[in-house]
Each structure stands twice: as structure tokens, then as C-alpha cells.
Structure 1
Amino acid sequence: MEYLIDLVLILLATVLFGKLFKSFGLPEVVGQLMSGVILGPSILNIVQTGKIIGTFSEIGVIILMFIAGLESNLELLKKYLKPSLIVAFMGIIFPIAFMYIAGFFHGFSNIESLFIGIIFAATSVSISVEVLREMDELDSTEGITILGAAVADDVLSILALSFAVSFFGVSDGENNNIILTILLQIAFFIFVYIMYRIILRFLPIIINKFKFGITEFSMIVCLLLAYLAEETSLSTITGAFFAGIIFSQSDFKDKISNDFETVGYSIFIPVFFANVGLEMEISGILNHFIMFIIFTILAVVTKLLGSMLGAKMSNFNSISSLEIGAGMISRGEVGLIIAGIGLSSHLISEDYYSTIIASIIATTLIAPIILRKVILIKREH
């Protein structure tokens, strides 16, 4: 039952450090991320990520992205679909190109260098979502573009991953066929659309006639779409986000939002933020310190500039483009997952795997600070 005291320590630390960092004018989520770094193997080493903590963390990010979808404006998402695609594409090209060059100069093979680029091409918007919510920017044109670009980024990054594993990786027994991956993802999005039409039409009947609790029903749909997204090689957060979009069009939106926030922020979401910090090990920084610094700087700069250029190409002004670029910096759990796949497929070496993980987490810690600062600058103009 040690996991119970681990949860107590995590919840206590996320509250205290969240409020402490907020008092210094920093995003509360950075304090929650740092609580994991402090409790974990990097500093105090009194809490380790494990099966139960990991499961709570996964549920937390699913709930967080469901809430993000719930609070999004579907019409604005449709309106800014094209800019989102451009931002996602440019935000992938820059990291792949420059991280490939960095890997090459560190003596890595062409395949290793390419895969490192793919790892850092991924975006995990879950951290940015928390900052956008805190700053009331989630439903702004910039916030909507970030969300749309993150979904597109997820699809493009997974396709790049599938291509790399199919052509260069050592099979682990799973089917890595890129054509099959594309077909499964198309089937997933068709299923999401069918669910959207069915739920909007029959939701009042389900709730009123069959006495089905709206929160319980929306949770079932959320977890189902998260599961199906993962089964089609997308991330769970993409499925959860689309589940939120579906229920954002219903008359029960406010009740669902209140209930999910109560459940999520009471335990699951804080555990997710802390778990990101728990993943960091100081050895990943000390063993290859120069590589860690270069990868972290390039990860931040290439994603920022690439996404910013994509926003400028879509006629956003400079400060809005900067906000969109900042919102795409975080790699979070998506980067960690892709790195793990690369290791198991022998596309990256164990020698520098921990350094890549440390760089991903460092990027995730830096991203919300930059995003909050940019939003404050925008409000001053």
C-alpha cells in the first residue's frame, strides 16, 4: 500500500509548489512539474513512478484533454483548420532537420539522427492547455490554433514514427505497416464523426429516458475514444480531445465540465504533472551534459521558430505567431512515448536514451514559462 503515501506526497507537493511558483509570477503547472522532479530520483528520491502512479497519470492527461476539447469552440476549430495544419507541418520540419544535424555532429548514424529529429518533432499540448486555461486563452484564436495544430502534429509525428520503424527498426512482433496505420487512423476519424452525429441526436433520450448519468456517459465515451486512438497508433489525448469536442456541442456542457474538473483536479491531473517530473533522472543530464544542453536548446528554438513561421504564413501577426509557437514547444508524454518506441526498436542507443528523456522533460518545464510570458506581452500591446 506504499502507493497511498506516494499519492499523499504528490498531492501535497503539487499544491504547495504550485502555489509557491504562482506567487513568483510563474505558471502554477511549472511548480507541479517541479514537485515531481524534487520528489523523484533527481533530488530526494522518495517517490518513484510505478504502475499505479503511471495509470493515475494517464487518466489525468486524458481528463485534462477532454476538458480542453469541452471548452473549445468547434466553429473556430473548423475556421482555423488550415492555419493549424501549416503550423503543425512547419513545427515538425524544423526540429527534424536541425536535430538531425545535431545528431550527425555528435557522431550518430543517419538513422539515429533522423529518429532523434522525429522524437523532438512531437508536440504534447497538455501542458500548454493548462497555461492557456489559467490565462483564459484556451478559446482565443491563438489557443484554438494551438489545439488544432497539436492534433495535426500528433497524426504527422505518428506517421513519421511508423515510417521510421517500418523501414529502419527491428520488429518487436507488432505490425508497423505504414499503410495499415494510415487506414486505421482514417477509420478512427470516421468513427469519431459517426459518434458525434449519434450522440448529438440521441443524447437527450439516453439521459432522460434511460436515466443514464451524463457525467458517467461522457466518461465512457472519453475513455473509449482515448483507447481507440491509442490502438490506431495515435495518442490517447487525441481521442480524449475529440470526445470533449463532441460533448461541447451538447446542452450538458457546463455540468460535464464542472464534474470532470472536480474529479480531474482532485487527484488525477496533479499526479500527471508530477509524474512528468518523476521521469527525470539526473544521470541523463550529467552523463552527456553538452548533448543535453544542445538538444534542449534546439528542441525549444526549432519548435518555436517553425510553428511561429507557420503562423506567420497563415497571416497571424508577430505576437500571435509567437504565442502559437510557444504553445507548441512542450514535448511531454508524447515525446517520452516515441523515445521509448525508438529504444525498443533499436533506433536509438541506450547510451544516450536517458539524456534524450532529460531533454524532453526540461523542454516541458521550460515551455509553460515561455508561453505565459508571451501571453502577458501580448496583453500589454
Structure 2
Amino acid sequence: MNQLLILAILLLTAICFRQLFLKIKLPTVLGYMFSGIFLGPSLLNVIHGSHLISSMAELGVIVLMFIAGLECDLKMLKKYFKPSITIAFLGIVFPVIGMYWMGQTLALSKIESLFIGIIFAATSVSISVAVLKELHRLKTKAGTTILGAAVADDILSILLLSIVIASTGIDDSNHQINLYYLISYQIGFFLLVWLLTFIAQKLSFNGLEKIKPKLPILALVFALLLSGVAELVQVSAITGAFFAGIIISQTKYKESLTNQIDQFGQLFLIPLFFINVGLSVKLDGIFDNIGLFILMLIIAVLTKFIGAYSGARLFKFSRNNASQIGIGMISRGEVGLIIAEIGLKNQLISTEYYSTIIAVIIITTIITPILLRVIIKSK
């Protein structure tokens, strides 16, 4: 089918599902995801994922995280830095231990068991961001902590991934030097972010008034540049986009840029990201190995929730706020999918379990918006 017709059908169906989910008071991002499930391999099987859709979806999540950075309060982020790091750490340790235990129980190798743990150590902040934005909870205590913890979670997970791949010696016999350089590059990236944030806080940018109409596209170019640099040092692109948003949020153009870029993203790029998640759902990953799927899903949900909830309670968060943070960290989304794909390519996980792992990642992504809305509304 013509790619333009496919995009038109996807967006039209997504609008219909969005309105339906609005009426039944469920997060609209679920409407977008279910439109992909409805048209994709799981139900009608009329549209499949393509390179074009995947590329536009990747742009969509970058724009979404850029907006999250623009809307983030840096003072609040600094205030909740310690709980965010603690939550991220416990949110990694619990899933790694839980999945490693499961792998050893199934007689998998130690490397494969560990790698499955790393896959489920990751958190997809983009899903929770969309729900928090919709419910106007992004700038709350819990919302800020989820953002900080999820970004820290991604950074730590990618670093752990790099260490495991390097230590297996798959890519290069001189892997220890490669790992040393990689960590150095990543430290350099975060120093660059700190320096750019410092500069943005100190400069007035009055000279930019002359080119104000062009600022939105310049801001997007900056977000893409920082995302690209992040990928070069093997930090996820969405982390780079988030930090780009934080840097620009220190300028006086924050509000106008946030409104314009949000309108641009919501036109089709951000919906396409969630639609693409729905298109990725394949029921064979669930029904071909239903017992393993249920066990893995339970471990994935409980370990992440318990780890994040415990970390929040250590810092005296209320039970409701701690529950919001715990649920907000459950989604694995695009980060989990990327790590799983890397594992398959490097033969760190077998093809026998790959489809089940992907199915669990997708289901955690779908249930997170539902549970998050329920716990926020219960307050």
C-alpha cells in the first residue's frame, strides 16, 4: 500500500480511538496505541511497521522528550535529585535480580539471564510523560521525581549494557580500552550538558528577538543535535532531547517555544510514536509461551514497582506519591525494545525467548498509562 495512504489511515484511525478513549476516561495515548493494535498484526493485519513509520515515531519521541525538558522545573529536578537517583538505582537492582533468578530457574546461561535483567531494568519515561502532561501532573513532586528517576534509570541501564557487551568481548578483543573510552565520552557528554545549561542561565539572548519567528525550528535543530551526540556516546537519544529541553527552558523564550513545539509535535509525530508501539504488538509472543509470558510480566511489573516505591518511601514520600512513582517507572517502551534488539544482534539472548520478551515490554507499556491514571485520580 502507498506509504502516504498508510499514514493517512493510521492518523484517521488514531483520532477515532483517541475520541473513544476520551469518552471512557482513559489516557488518550492508549487510544493511539490501540489504533496501531487494531490495524496491525494483532487484529486486522492490514498495516505493518515500516522504516518510514519507525523513523517518524523516533522523531515523535524525541519531540515529546524535548517538550518534557522544556516544561521541567530545573530547581525541582535538583531538589529531588537524591530520591531520583535512589529510585533509579533500586528500580534497576530489583528487576535485574528478579529476571536473573528467573533465567537461572529456566537453566539459561548466566550471561543471558543477566541480559534479560538489563532489558527490564530500563524505563520508558516517554509513556509516563504523556500521561502526566495530559493530567497536568508533570510539574508535581511525583511527576518531577518520575522524570528525574527515569532519565537516571536510562543512563544507568545503558552504562550497564555497555559494560556487559564490552566484558563479553563481542565487538573487539581490546574491549577494556573501548569501555574506558566509552565511559570517558559519556562523562564528556554530561559535562557538555552542564556547560550549556550554565551558559543558558547566564546569557540574556536579547539579540535573538530579531529572529524570533525562526526560534522554534532552531530549537528543534538543537534538540536533534544533542540527541545525535547522545547516540554517538551510546546514551539514548531521548535523554539528549530531554536535556536539550532543560537547557532551552533556562531562556526567556521557554513558554512560547513550548506552546509552538507542542502544537507541532501533536499534529502527527507524537501520535505516530504511540501508534508504532501498537503496531509492534504481536500475539504470538504471548500465546506461544503463555506460562513464561505471565511469569515474566509479573516479575517485570512487581520488581520495578517495589524498587521505585521503596526508594520513594525512603525519602518520606506519601504512599500515593510513592505509588505514582512506582507505577510511572513500570513502562519499558522504546528503551527496552532497543536493548532487546541489541541483545539479539549480539547473541546475548536466544530467538526462543525474544518474542516473549518483546510482548512483555509492550504490555508493560500499555498497562502503565491505565494504572497511572487510576492512582492519580484516586488521590
* TM tier relative to shorter chain: over 0.9
1:175: how far off?
6.7
1:181: how far off?
2.2
In structure 2, do the counterparts of structure 1 residues 192 and 357 end up closer, same or farther at CA, with 3 Å as the change threshold? Answer: same
- Which residue identity lines up with residue 223 of structure 1 in the other structure? L
Matched, 1:130 2:130: yes
Residue equivalent to 1:3: 3
Residue equivalent to 2:108: 108
In structure 2, do the counterparts of structure 1 residues 341 and 370 end up closer, same or farther at CA, with 3 Å as the change threshold? Answer: same
Distance in 2, Cα, partners of 1:311 & 1:179 = 33
Contact 1:94 1:303 in 2 (8 A): yes
Distance in 1, Cα, partners of 2:272 & 2:104 = 37
1:194: how far off?
2.2
Deviation digits for residues 133-165 of structure 1 (CA, Å, limit 9, x no counterpart) = 111110001000000001110111011111111
Residue equivalent to 1:243: 244
Deviation digits for residues 49-101 of structure 1 (CA, Å, limit 9, x no counterpart) = 11110110011000000111111111000010000000000100110011111
Deviation digits for residues 346-378 of structure 1 (CA, Å, limit 9, x no counterpart) = 100011111111110011001111111111112
1:204: how far off?
2.2
Contact 2:167 2:175 in 1 (8 A): no
Residue equivalent to 1:359: 360
Residue equivalent to 1:45: 45
Residue equivalent to 2:25: 25
Contact 1:229 1:238 in 2 (8 A): yes
Residue equivalent to 1:165: 165
Distance in 2, Cα, partners of 1:174 & 1:22 = 54
Distance in 2, Cα, partners of 1:294 & 1:318 = 27
Distance in 2, Cα, partners of 1:190 & 1:180 = 15
Deviates more, 1:187-196 or 1:207-216: 207-216
Distance in 2, Cα, partners of 1:70 & 1:313 = 29
1:191: how far off?
1.1
- Which residue identity lines up with residue 171 of structure 1 in the other structure? D
Residue equivalent to 1:349: 350
In structure 2, do the counterparts of structure 1 residues 249 and 345 end up closer, same or farther at CA, with 3 Å as the change threshold? Answer: same
Distance in 2, Cα, partners of 1:254 & 1:37 = 35
Contact 2:91 2:307 in 1 (8 A): yes
- Which residue identity lines up with residue 374 of structure 1 in the other structure? I
In structure 2, do the counterparts of structure 1 residues 324 and 167 end up closer, same or farther at CA, with 3 Å as the change threshold? Answer: same
Residue equivalent to 2:289: 288
Deviates more, 1:43-52 or 1:336-345: 43-52
Deviates more, 1:240-249 or 1:332-341: 240-249
Distance in 1, Cα, partners of 2:318 & 2:78 = 20
1:273: how far off?
0.3
User: In the TM superposition, what are the counterparts of 1:1-381 in structure 2 within 5 Å?
Assistant: 2-168=2-168, 170-171=170-171, 177-202=178-203, 204-208=205-209, 213-378=214-379
In structure 2, do the counterparts of structure 1 residues 285 and 203 end up closer, same or farther at CA, with 3 Å as the change threshold? Answer: farther
Question: How many residue pairs get matched?
Answer: 378
In structure 2, do the counterparts of structure 1 residues 92 and 29 end up closer, same or farther at CA, with 3 Å as the change threshold? Answer: same
Contact 1:207 1:213 in 2 (8 A): no
1:168: how far off?
2.5
Contact 2:169 2:175 in 1 (8 A): no
In structure 2, do the counterparts of structure 1 residues 258 and 212 end up closer, same or farther at CA, with 3 Å as the change threshold? Answer: closer
In structure 2, do the counterparts of structure 1 residues 47 and 183 end up closer, same or farther at CA, with 3 Å as the change threshold? Answer: same
In the superposition, the TM-score normalised over structure 1's length comes to 0.95
Contact 2:72 2:246 in 1 (8 A): yes
Identical counterparts, % of pairs: 49
Deviation digits for residues 154-210 of structure 1 (CA, Å, limit 9, x no counterpart) = 111011111111122632899783322221111111111222233445562552356
SS of equivalent residue, structure 2 residue 205: helix
Distance in 2, Cα, partners of 1:8 & 1:60 = 16
- Which residue identity lines up with residue 353 of structure 1 in the other structure? Y
**Where does the alignment leave 5 or more consecutive residues of structure 2 unmatched?**
none
Distance in 1, Cα, partners of 2:330 & 2:319 = 17
1:261: how far off?
1.1
Distance in 1, Cα, partners of 2:279 & 2:210 = 46
Distance in 2, Cα, partners of 1:169 & 1:120 = 22
Contact 1:206 1:212 in 2 (8 A): no
Contact 1:169 1:347 in 2 (8 A): no
Distance in 2, Cα, partners of 1:20 & 1:174 = 55
**Where does the alignment leave 5 or more consecutive residues of structure 1 unmatched?**
none
Distance in 2, Cα, partners of 1:202 & 1:320 = 36
Distance in 2, Cα, partners of 1:181 & 1:207 = 36
Deviation digits for residues 271-325 of structure 1 (CA, Å, limit 9, x no counterpart) = 0001011112122112211111111121111111110001111111211111111
Distance in 1, Cα, partners of 2:175 & 2:267 = 39
Contact 2:200 2:250 in 1 (8 A): no
SS of equivalent residue, structure 1 residue 311: helix
Contact 1:72 1:139 in 2 (8 A): yes
- Which residue identity lines up with residue 20 of structure 2 in the other structure? L
Distance in 2, Cα, partners of 1:2 & 1:195 = 43
SS of equivalent residue, structure 1 residue 337: helix
Distance in 1, Cα, partners of 2:172 & 2:50 = 23
